[in-house]
Structure formats: C-alpha cells, structure tokens
Amino acid sequence: MLSWFKKKMGETPPEPEPEAETTPPPSAGEETGEQAAVVEPEAASSVAGDEAGGVQPSAATGATSFFNRLRQGLSRTRESFVNQMDELFLGRKVIDAELFDELEEILITADLGAATTTELLERAREQVKRQDLNDPRALEEILQQLLQEYLVQADRPAELVMPASGPFVIMVLGVNGVGKTTTIGKLAYKFKKSGQKVLLVAADTFRAAAIEQLQAWGRRVDAEVVAQQHGADPSSVIYDAFDYARPRDFDVIIVDTAGRLHTKVNLMEELRKVKRVMSQKIPGAPHEVMLVIDATTGQNGISQARLFQEAVDVSGIALTKLDGTARGGIVANICREFKIPIRFIGIGEQMEDLRDFDPREFVSALFSRDREATRDADTAADQIENGSDRP
C-alpha cells in the first residue's frame, strides 16, 4: 500500500524518507522550519466497519484481496485489453509492421489517444530494433514497461502534502456528474480512517440535492459538514466554513464546488473567486486543487479538464469510474497530457473504492490474466508486506 499523504509533525522527528528525491518540499513546512513526515500507510487489511451506517464496506481483507479488488474494478478494461492482445499475439511468430498496425488500433480503442499511441509505438519499435527482438511476447513486455513509464513520469509526487500547521485545504472541482461529491466522501473516509479530523464544505450550491448528497456522505463517514441553503454564494459558504473551522482544529477541510456550465466563463470566474477567498481566509489555501475526471468520457473528458486547468492551477487528479469503462488507456493519456499526478482512482461507488494510484500496481492489474491472478495477487501482497510497492 502507498503512503498517500504526508502530515505535519511538529515535534516528532521525521521517519527516514524512502522516496526523498521525488518528494517536493512541503510549502508551509519549509517556511516554518517544521518537518513533514509520511503518515503510516493505511493498513490494507483494515477496512473499517461503517459506524455511521449506510454503506456496506466490501470484504477487502488483506493485501491479496486488495489487489484483486483493483483487478475486479478494472475488469472491463482488462478483459478488453488483454483479450485483444491475446488474439493479436496468438499464432504470431514474428514482430512485423502488420503487428504494429494492429497494436496501434488496440491502443487507440483503449483510449490511449493518437499522440500517446504514436509516441509509445515509436519507442517500442526502437527497442525491438535495438535489442533485435522477434518474439511478439517480448513486445508485450516492452509495452507494459513503456505504459508504466508514462504513468510515473508526471513530475510531481503523487502523495498529498499537508501543511506544517493549520488545516489542509482541498478544493475539489470538475464537470458536473464526474464524481466530485462521491470522491470527497471516499476521501473523507480515508482521512478519517487515518485519524484525521475532517470538515466538508458544501460550496456547490447550484442544486439542493448536491448539498444533501454531501451531508449524507458526512453522516456516513462521520465528518462534519458546513452548508448553507441552495443558491447561496459559494464564497460566503467558504467564509462561514473557515470561520467555523478556525477554533476547532480540523486537520482536513474538503470543499465541494459546482461543476455546472463548464463551458461558460462565469463558472471558471467563480472557481477562481472561490479559490481566492480560501487563500484570504487561510494563507496558502487551497493546498490541493483536485480535478476530478470521469474515465468513461474519453477525449471529451480530457478537453473539459483542460479548461479547468487553464482557469485554476490544478495540483492533482482523481480519475473516477475506471470500473465503468473498457478504455483504461485514458490513464496514460491523462498522464501525458497533463503532467499532473493522478492521486486517486475510483473503481466503484462504495466508500473504500477510492484507491491510491500506483502505476506499477495499475499496469500489473491491467495486464493480468485470470490464470495469473493468484500469482500477481501474491506478488502484490508480498510487495505490500515488504513495503516495496512504491515505484
């Protein structure tokens, strides 16, 4: 399992940091001279009971079933991808131009995008030539490895970095229906499980149901919610919420925003304003601007995401509904397009269905066959136990 966020640690000296070179300085921590340290990774086997009632946590017990759950979530993509690969390689003895052409089609169908596909195949061709390879299976391995490289190349670290003092403010944005509120609920659940005090802020005042939905998540994961009435000014909700939070020592504040009218300038204006208000109330906030993208929307989802990125400086991506699409190649496409880390992936509607994005685990789950599932799961479990699953 990943250590998925870093936490302020005022007095305790930080643990030795295994991924020190990929870790940026926590902004507030540096200024204050305080150190950040990695919070213990969430235990893979400790899916807590649903104390507040509502959602049934599924039986993810132990690293093996954790990996299998990811496999299961990705089953549509995996089956389509792996089946097509198997068909392609079946009976082939050599790597030739025709094989590359057909591979190109598979990758494009998997939503890798034309540019990513072209670039990836170009690099694969080079490797085949350089190593003088003939066996099509070797090509599959190269492909796996190149895909993984795309996924890790985003030049910022995948963990969230909390400030050294004060609450960690996360602003969540994205087109309507992509899964913002659900992701916030799942994220709140993760933070709560890690012992953090969480406040949710209903700054999506566009429709009443959005506020109620966030409140329902708050009850479910036992987090407080600050909300005003439907139609209220989002900035005023932020003011209220941050005033409420100040004396109450929250560790994490997660702000839900509206996703309506994304093509209209006024939504982007509003998001900029909301962001500005946050920084006026809490210097440095929001510490994370998390863009939610729906994996089932393909290229369209990517162009929408670009609009948000242009309007506000996005620092991380949550990619939802990967369980609902056969085109998981979008992950590589997004990594190449945005150079922003994918922090989390959504693989279902339950509260534990938000997974830390681990490129190696993802690629391995994507390429695994049923007959290999047990072996892969065991390997993943070993890696998790040995703490060696971080790229």
Ligand X SMILES: Nc1nc2c(ncn2[C@@H]2O[C@H](COP(=O)(O)OP(=O)(O)OP(=O)(O)O)[C@@H](O)[C@H]2O)c(=O)[nH]1
- Residues within window 209-248 making contact with Mg ion, judged by CB under 5 A: 210
- Member of 152, 193, 349, 379 binding ligand X (CB under 6 A): 349
Smallest gap from Cβ 324 to ligand X, in A, equals 4
Structure tokens of 18?
Answer: 């295994």
348 lies in the binding site for ligand X (CB under 6 A): yes
Smallest gap from Cβ 258 to Mg ion, in A, equals 8
# of chain residues touching Mg ion (CB under 5 A): 3
Binds 320: which of ligand X, Mg ion, none (CB < 5-8 Å by kind): ligand X
User: By C-beta, is 202 or 252 nearer to ligand X?
Assistant: 202
User: By C-beta, is 2 or 314 nearer to Mg ion?
Assistant: 314
Closest-approach residue to ligand X (CB): 346
User: By C-beta, is 164 or 291 nearer to Mg ion?
Assistant: 291
Q: Contact 223/192 with Cβ under 8 angstroms? A: yes
# of chain residues touching ligand X (CB under 6 A): 21
2: which residues sit within 8 A by CB, 6+ positions away?
41, 158, 159, 356, 358, 389, 390
User: By C-beta, is 204 or 251 nearer to ligand X?
Assistant: 204
Binds 324: which of ligand X, Mg ion, none (CB < 5-8 Å by kind): ligand X
- Residues within window 180-209 making contact with Mg ion, judged by CB under 5 A: 180-181
Please state the separation of Cα 69 from the chain's center in Å: 16
Structure tokens of 379?
Answer: 């390997």
User: By C-beta, is 157 or 177 nearer to ligand X?
Assistant: 177
- According to DSSP, residue 344 is labeled E
DSSP three-state, residue 290: strand
Q: Contact 147/363 with Cβ under 8 angstroms? A: yes
Smallest gap from Cβ 26 to Mg ion, in A, equals 29
58 lies in the binding site for ligand X (CB under 6 A): no
Tell me phi and psi for residue 344, to 5 degrees: -135, 155
69 lies in the binding site for ligand X (CB under 6 A): no
321 lies in the binding site for ligand X (CB under 6 A): yes
User: Rounded to whole angstroms, how far apart are CA atoms 206 and 185?
Assistant: 19
Q: Contact 334/301 with Cβ under 8 angstroms? A: no
Smallest gap from Cβ 269 to Mg ion, in A, equals 20
201 lies in the binding site for ligand X (CB under 6 A): no
Calculate ∠ Cα 376-377-380, nearest 5°. 85
**DSSP H helices in the chain:** 27-32, 62-73, 75-89, 97-109, 114-130, 136-152, 180-193, 208-221, 234-245, 265-281, 298-311, 330-338, 359-367, 370-385
Tell me phi and psi for residue 137, to 5 degrees: -65, -30
77 lies in the binding site for ligand X (CB under 6 A): no
Positions touching ligand X (CB under 6 A) are 174, 176-182, 204, 210, 213, 259, 320-321, 323-324, 346-349, 353
Binding site for Mg ion (CB under 5 A): 180-181, 210
